């Protein structure tokens, strides 16, 4: 797939990530727009990395990371935190058993988290999983829940 087409698909995937960010009170319009803008930018940037399966993984991580970065939770994370959080999210969706947490930690800051994937199920012929990503910032939990489905190319895309 050519990069311009992939970038458009990455941006389209990003539109749905806004619904996956929540802090328990529901996102307001500014938070939703920040999440959406971050997801679009993350997907486009991630899409420019590598080729083949590596590019697909980078695009998926970029979309999800961009959405988290743009959300209220992401305001307290630095680049290393975001990278660790998104790698854990990808590992949880891709490899972990339902209910088994994937833990991440930034040893230089008091920031850590865990991603707990739900059961895999079928939706429109795609494997999907709900997940809960809890991020602890100075001991205070911030919870984001979402659903992601595997695309035909193997990437995971957030869905509303």
d(Cα 43, Cα 12) in Å, to the nearest integer? 9
Residue 50: left (phi > 0), alpha (psi -120 to 50), or beta? left
Residue 34 main-chain phi, psi, to 5 deg: -65, -40
**pLDDT, position 79:** 86
Hey, CA dihedral for 105, 108, 110, 111, is it positive or negative?
A: negative
pLDDT at 12 (0 to 100): 44
Supply the DSSP string of 40-51, one letter for each residue. Answer: HHHHHHHHTSSS
Q: Go through 131-149 and write b for each residue having 16 or more CB atoms within 10 A of its CB, e for each that does not.
A: bebbbebeeeebebebbbb
Q: What is the pLDDT of residue 123?
A: 94
Of 111, 62, 106, 114, which is closest to residue 80 (Cα–Cα)? 106
Q: What is the 3-state secondary structure (H, E, C) of 96-148?
A: CCCCCCEEEEECCCCEEEEEEEEEEEEECCEEEEEEEEEEEECCEEEEEEEEE
- pLDDT, averaged in runs of 10, over the chain (160 residues): 45 43 44 48 54 60 56 76 90 96 93 96 95 92 91 86
Q: Is the pTM of this model over 0.85?
A: no
- Delimit the domains of the chain by residue range: 3-159
Q: What residues are paired with 114 via a beta bridge?
A: 103, 134
Q: Give the pLDDT of residue 59.
A: 58
């Amino acid at each position: 797939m050519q990069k311009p087409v992939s970038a458009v698909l990455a941006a389209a995937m990003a539109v749905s990530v806004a619904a996956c960010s929540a802090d328990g009170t529901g996102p307001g319009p500014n938070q939703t727009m920040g999440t959406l803008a971050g997801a679009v930018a993350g997907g486009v940037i991630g899409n420019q990395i590598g080729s083949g399966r590596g590019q697909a993984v980078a695009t998926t991580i970029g979309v999800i990371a961009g959405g988290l970065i743009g959300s209220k939770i992401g305001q307290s994370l630095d680049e290393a935190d975001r990278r660790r959080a998104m790698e854990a999210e990808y590992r949880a969706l891709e490899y972990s058993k339902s209910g088994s947490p994937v833990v991440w930690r930034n040893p230089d800051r008091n920031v850590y988290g865990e991603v707990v994937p739900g059961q895999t199920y079928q939706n429109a012929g795609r494997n999907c999983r709900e997940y809960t990503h809890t991020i602890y910032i100075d001991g205070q939990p911030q919870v984001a829940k979402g659903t992601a489905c595997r695309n035909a190319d193997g990437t995971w895309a957030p869905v509303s």
